[in-house]
Chain A
Amino acid sequence: MIRQLDWRAFGAMTRLELLLATRRLENLFVTLALPAVVLIFLAIGPVLPADGPEGRVGIAVAVVLTVALMATGLVSLAIATAYERGYGVLKRLRGSPLPVTALLGAKAVAVLVTFAVQIVLVGLLAMVLGWSPRDGPVTAIATAAPWLMLGALCFCALGLLLAGLLRPEAVLAAANGLFVVAVLLGGVVIPVDQLPGPLGLAVSILPPALVAELLRDTLGGSTANGLHAAMLSAWTTGLITAAATTFRTEP
């Protein structure tokens, strides 16, 4: 049972996390503006195939939601946390009465709010661009929700793993680099079967492609591929374990 005071600490920390998220402009660019731009580009441009039951916009939504999850978990969370660790902010907070659970909870709330805003933004924009899934957008998102959550957990765990291991400058480079490579060559924008043979095979078992596939299936009204779901669950479990065992708050 968390006591009164701890709730107050948790509330204050959560408010601050949300406030800081809105002040980091580069953060807002990568989490909100970038997915919106990618969505418009993919929905209008000729990169994605126009055939299939869900149409070009339908595929684009799955792609862009995967990009959005990576932008928040792998890029934004990783870099912010790495700097907080490297500059001693986490160490200072750990020396205060703020419980570790309250700090983690506040960060989780901030990340969840970011995801929610991203999903609403992408959904609305996609509808403007002509997205009309068979059972309606809300049902489509609800069906995909478990895979959105699992993908979010997976990318957040990867981001925190980097943030706990490397110097802030190295995390900045690594997170952005991984993000760009994953979007372009990770089976996200370009489907796995259109990548050169060995590359396609290799990336098809990595989280970006798995999340993109699972979202494409479930948003399009199909059931999730069991093998994909199992592989993504394994990745997520492994990354959470790795992040939890290696994370340090010391600079």
Chain B
Amino acid sequence: MPVIELEGLHKRYGDQVALAGIDLVVRAGEIVCLLGPNGAGKTTTVEIAEGYRLADGGQARVFGLDPHRDRTQIAKRSGIMLQSTELHSQIRVSEAVQLFAAFYSRPLAVPALLERVGLERVADRSYRSLSGGERARLQLALALVGRPELLILDEPTAAMDAAARRDTWALLAGLRSQGAAVLLTTHLIDEAERLADRVAIVDRGRLVAAGTPTELRQTVNRGAAADKSDVSSRREVRLELSLPLDDARVAALRTLPGLSSVRFARPGVYILGTTSVGELLVSLATWLWAIGREPQSIQLTGASLEEVFLRLTGEEATDHGANQADSAAVEASIRTDEPPTE
């Protein structure tokens, strides 16, 4: 039996449709990432699974129970991290974890847990004095202290630095191997790519794709191949510059020998389609040298999960007759490395 089963979830806030039919299953021993731009409906989805919100339509089941009605029963077997939540400013780190430990029947030992999440040195500090990353780790500790069979984490690593993020990934992978089910939302594509057994991409309240990271990449590669007559030799080059090119330079870029298409991933990042990689690399390198621009990186790629994400969530926006210069802005706004702006 799946741990989480969401079927056809619909949710409106007034006139605004937040969810327009979300289906999702999370089983024991797997990590499922809900990936999507800000405002896509990720938080609404997980808050329905956590019992905080009621869906207007569809059905949600957690451990086979109703997440709203049976929330206390479900809470005993699960741990959560909310997207924006604080604790009492005067509470000390160890006190907060001790408090939550008292809510569960078989809690973890607090000192060991603090060490596991890297908070042992700040155990006696008050919540108020913690950095954003430390606060996030404390929330993670509160989610873990009850030995949960299910973790629902809403952007758990958004406030963490790179090291804490890697620690958290390792920790979650460890829990997965012990049989825990993990549902986490993220707007970080590499987080989904590294951690997830399955990724569900949501955009404007709809599930636009779901599958393993590999399956998603294959889908997009097939789709891209179908666009072009010359499928066999089609490759892509990802060019990253420290500063975006201006319009005149982009126009010049398009005329390079060997180049068949240009797409804008985000400011300064260009996906160049080619049927002749060698020719393009030579002309591109020569051109960059001529205009005096040092590339940050030039990579030969198939479709990455980043592209899957951009295509699936960006395509609709570019279909409205927008030219490519505009679509760069659209895609840049869909890219969600920026902090949430909702």
Partner of B86, one of A9, A23, A88, A95: A88
Residues of B within 8 A of A91 (CB): 52, 82, 85
- B80 and A12: CB pair below 8 A? no
Among B75, B98, B99, B146, max chain A CB count under 10 A is at B99
Q: Please encode chain B, from 80 to 116, with 1 for each CB lying within 8 Å of some chain A CB and 0 for all others.
A: 1010111110110001001110111100000000000
- A89 and B88: CB pair below 8 A? yes
- A13 and B99: CB pair below 8 A? yes
User: Does any Cβ of A come within 8 Å of B177's Cβ?
Assistant: no
- A89 and B85: CB pair below 8 A? yes
Residues of A within 8 A of B50 (CB): 95
User: Does any Cβ of B come within 8 Å of A134's Cβ?
Assistant: no
- B75 and A88: CB pair below 8 A? no
- B75 and A95: CB pair below 8 A? yes
Residues of B within 8 A of A5 (CB): 105
Partner of A96, one of B90, B98, B103: B103
A57 vs B103: C-alpha distance when bound (angstroms): 47
User: Does any Cβ of A come within 8 Å of B263's Cβ?
Assistant: no
- A97 and B75: CB pair below 8 A? yes
User: Does any Cβ of A come within 8 Å of B61's Cβ?
Assistant: no
- B82 and A97: CB pair below 8 A? no
User: Does any Cβ of A come within 8 Å of B235's Cβ?
Assistant: no
Residues of B within 8 A of A96 (CB): 75, 100, 103, 142
Residues of B within 8 A of A54 (CB): none
Residues of A within 8 A of B88 (CB): 20, 84, 89
- B82 and A12: CB pair below 8 A? no
Say whether chain A's binding surface is mostly helix, strand, loop, or mixed: helix
Residues of A121-174 at the interface with B, using a CB-CB cut-off of 8 Å, are none
User: Does any Cβ of B come within 8 Å of A195's Cβ?
Assistant: no
Residues of B within 8 A of A12 (CB): 98-99, 102-103
Q: Which residue of B lies closest to A9 (CB)?
A: B103
On chain B, which size bracket covers the interface? 20 to 34
- A23 and B90: CB pair below 8 A? yes
Partner of A88, one of B82, B98, B102: B82
Residues of B within 8 A of A9 (CB): 102-103
How far, in Å, is A212 (CB) from chain B's closest CB?
A: 33
Residues of A1-44 at the interface with B, using a CB-CB cut-off of 8 Å, are 5, 8-9, 11-13, 16, 19-20, 23-24
- B52 and A11: CB pair below 8 A? no
Q: Which residue of A lies closest to B95 (CB)?
A: A16
Residues of A within 8 A of B95 (CB): 16, 19
Residues of B within 8 A of A92 (CB): 80, 82, 85, 87, 142
Residues of B within 8 A of A95 (CB): 50-52, 71, 75, 80, 82
User: Does any Cβ of A come within 8 Å of B76's Cβ?
Assistant: yes
On whether A88 and B84 interact (CB within 8 A), knowing A16-B91, A96-B75, A97-B75, the answer reads yes
Residues of B within 8 A of A97 (CB): 72, 75-76, 103-104, 146
- B86 and A89: CB pair below 8 A? yes
How far, in Å, is A124 (CB) from chain B's closest CB?
A: 28
A145 vs B71: C-alpha distance when bound (angstroms): 39
A76 vs B62: C-alpha distance when bound (angstroms): 39
How far, in Å, is B45 (CB) from chain A's closest CB?
A: 15
Q: Please encode chain A, from 79 to 93, with 1 for each CB lying within 8 Å of some chain B CB and 0 for all others.
A: 000001001110110
Residues of A within 8 A of B84 (CB): 88
On whether A11 and B82 interact (CB within 8 A), knowing A19-B95, A97-B75, A99-B72, the answer reads no
A24 vs B146: C-alpha distance when bound (angstroms): 29
How far, in Å, is B84 (CB) from chain A's closest CB?
A: 6
* 19 extra interface residue pairs, beta carbon distance < 8 Å, beyond A89-B86, A95-B71: A5-B105, A9-B102, A12-B102, A12-B103, A13-B102, A20-B90, A20-B91, A24-B90, A87-B85, A88-B86, A91-B82, A95-B75, A95-B80, A95-B82, A97-B76, A97-B104, A98-B103, A99-B72, A250-B52
A-B pairs with beta carbons under 8 Å apart, 13 shown: A8-B102, A19-B95, A20-B90, A84-B88, A88-B85, A89-B86, A92-B82, A95-B75, A97-B72, A97-B76, A97-B103, A97-B104, A97-B146
Q: Which 3 A-B pairs have the closest CB atoms?
A: A88-B85, A12-B102, A87-B86
